[in-house]
Amino acid sequence: MEIITSNKDCEKLCYNGYMYVLKHFGKSKITWRCSKRSSFKCMGKLYTNVQKEDPVLKSDHNHFGDSEKVDVEKALCIMKEQSKSGLFKPLEVYAEGVAKLNDHVKRTLRNQCSKLNPIESTSLDNLTIDNEWCTTGHPEYENLLIFDNGVDSEQRILIFGTVEGMNNLSKSSTWYLNGNFALAPKLFLQL
Ligand SMILES: [Zn+2]
């Protein structure tokens, strides 16, 4: 059994391939419910003592446990925490988090990530960036696409940045530049 925390208010208990969230903190025991309650309508329930130890399954699940998925969730959780701390660069966090997983789980994670990504364009004529891909993503969805001269332009230029970033640049007397080639789409050269 292991407890992971994605943020202070949301602890997740991992046990036998299932994940649980806190339902009720009682005097002598804590009730946890299956994290798939809304998606699978699962009534799986578990008790622990108030120290969050000694898990006892109280109601069965209506689905199989998946310890690899739990491992992926755990890795994602740790990555989230590390990126929030600001002590690590995103690529370092990702590389280190993935390195800890076994090969099969790594594949699952990669497949899940690539399913979430848009299909990479083969030509700049059909490359449109819209909706949440113009933003910093969850949870702020702040605008990130500052400039796009459009699909009809001869030399396509996209500039990404945030208002806060631009403010910081405008106040700085010296700028240091660095290319991040690993993240740039293949159709683009990066300055
Ligand atoms: Zn369940």
Which DSSP string corresponds to 117-164? SPPPPSSGGG----GGGGB--TTT--B-EEEE--TT-SS--EEE--HH
**Residue % of the chain over a pLDDT of 70:** 93
Higher local confidence (pLDDT), 52 or 139: 52
- The values of phi and psi at residue 168, to 5°, are -60, -45
Q: Say which range, 69-78, 159-168, 182-191, has the weakest mean pLDDT.
A: 182-191
Taking alpha carbons only, the member of 84, 39, 82, 85 closest to residue 62 is 39
Q: What is the DSSP letter of 86?
A: T
Global pTM?
Answer: 0.53
Helices in the chain by DSSP H: which ranges? 37-40, 67-85, 90-99, 103-116, 163-171
How far is the centre of ligand 1, averaged over its atoms, from the C-alpha of 72 (Å)?
17
Whether cis (ω within 30° of 0) applies to the bond prior to 139 is: yes
Q: Which residues contact 89 (CB under 8 A, 6 or more apart)?
A: none
Surrounding ion ligand 1 within 5 Å at CB are 34, 36, 42, 44, 61
Instruction: Return the pLDDT at 109.
Output: 72
* Highest mean pLDDT: which range of 30-39, 72-81, 92-101, 122-131: 30-39
The predicted structure's pLDDT at residue 119: 78
C-alpha of residue 152 to centroid of ligand 1, in Å: 51
Tell me, in angstroms, the distance from the centre of ligand 1 to residue 155's CA: 52
Task: Calculate how far, in angstroms, residue 60's C-alpha sits from the geometric centre of ligand 1.
Answer: 7
